[in-house]
Amino acid sequence: MKRPLIAREGWPFALGLGLLTAAAWWLWPYAAIVPGLLTLLVLWFFRDPERAIPGDEADVVAPADGRVLWVREVDEPRFLGGPAVGVSIFLSIFDVHVNRAPVAGRVAYREYVPGRFLAAWRERVEETNERAYTGIEGPGYRALVVQIAGLVARRIVNWVGPGEAVRRGERFGLIKFGSCTQVYLPRGTEITVRPGQRVRGGQTIIGRLPPRWKEQEEAGARGGGSGASGASGEASGSGSGA
């Protein structure tokens, strides 16, 4: 079954503005111009287009639409537990705000952290702003996605819970009205994007997992074993309202 082209979180805004537009039109047609334009803007913001997911399971896809702010080697103690490579993507209010899983696996970690609402392109927003963490564990690898609220975006939505399986490129959440999304990958991942480049969630390949993950997957299949369980933390699905 095909999904609606507008994310469900957008319908209350669109319907409310639509009713306001109709009432304004009934009172005075010219008064309907502003709420009518706002209705169209809301529908555009919450659009959720279908995406063809490219590559194979070793290819990491962008978790969001937007512009790459930075690519850097970091220490990620929260879920990966050590050295990692991170990619930060800034979403303007004109980008699609639905987030997608960069890799396939099982949701092994979730945490919501309240914080400030500084501009999402600033340095260290992952330490100061409201944010939600989603850790995905696959055969021989882990990936951590961080949804970060921005100056305008003040509500983080997450549709998956601990233990759920996600497919590469699958929708898993949304950030309302401008934000930043970061992904942290195992050290040795070959990153194929650069700062300033525009990417599309689920459609742009941003990297390729290191070769050792495939070896571990095949070894696990032969032995009938399963990957190690990750930490699991319940998260609030949303932050504070605008």
**Please, are residues 188 and 56 in contact by the beta-carbon 8 Å criterion?**
no
Q: Of residues 240 and 135, which shows the higher confidence score?
A: 135
Nearest 5°: the CA angle 89, 125, 154 is 85
pLDDT reported for residue 166: 97
pLDDT reported for residue 104: 97
Residue 178 has pLDDT above 80, yes or no: no
Identify the band that residue 226 occupies on the pLDDT scale cut at 50, 70 and 90: very low
pLDDT reported for residue 9: 63
pLDDT reported for residue 227: 42
pLDDT reported for residue 16: 73
Please confirm, yes or no, whether 179 is among the known catalytic residues.
yes
Active site residue: 179, 229, 238, 240, which one? 179
Mean pLDDT of the chain, nearest integer: 82
Residues 67-82: tens digit of each pLDDT: 999 999 999 999 999 9
**Same domain for 29 and 128?**
no
**Same domain for 76 and 17?**
no
Q: How far apart are the first and last CA of the chain?
A: 33
| Residue 191 resides in a domain | yes
- How many domains does the structure of the chain reveal? 2
pLDDT reported for residue 154: 58
Mean pLDDT of 24-47: 77
98-100, strands of its sheet edge to edge: 98-100, 171-175, 156-158
Q: In which element (H, E) is residue 171 found?
A: strand 171-175
Domain that holds residue 22: 8-45
Q: Of residues 213 and 201, which shows the higher confidence score?
A: 201
pLDDT reported for residue 38: 76
Q: How far is CA 109 from CA 21, 163, 220, in A?
A: 43, 8, 22
Percent residues over pLDDT 70 in the chain: 76
**Same domain for 26 and 123?**
no
| Residue 233 resides in a domain | no
CB atoms within 10 A of CB 158: 22
Residue 17 has pLDDT above 70, yes or no: no
pLDDT reported for residue 27: 84
Q: In which element (H, E) is residue 34 found?
A: helix 33-45
Number of DSSP helices (H) and strands (E) in the chain, helices first: 4, 14
What's the CATH code of the domain at 127? 2.70.70
**Same domain for 82 and 30?**
no
**Same domain for 39 and 63?**
no
Residues 111-146: tens digit of each pLDDT: 999 988 777 667 778 888 889 999 999 999 999 999
**Same domain for 23 and 63?**
no
Residue 162 has pLDDT above 90, yes or no: yes
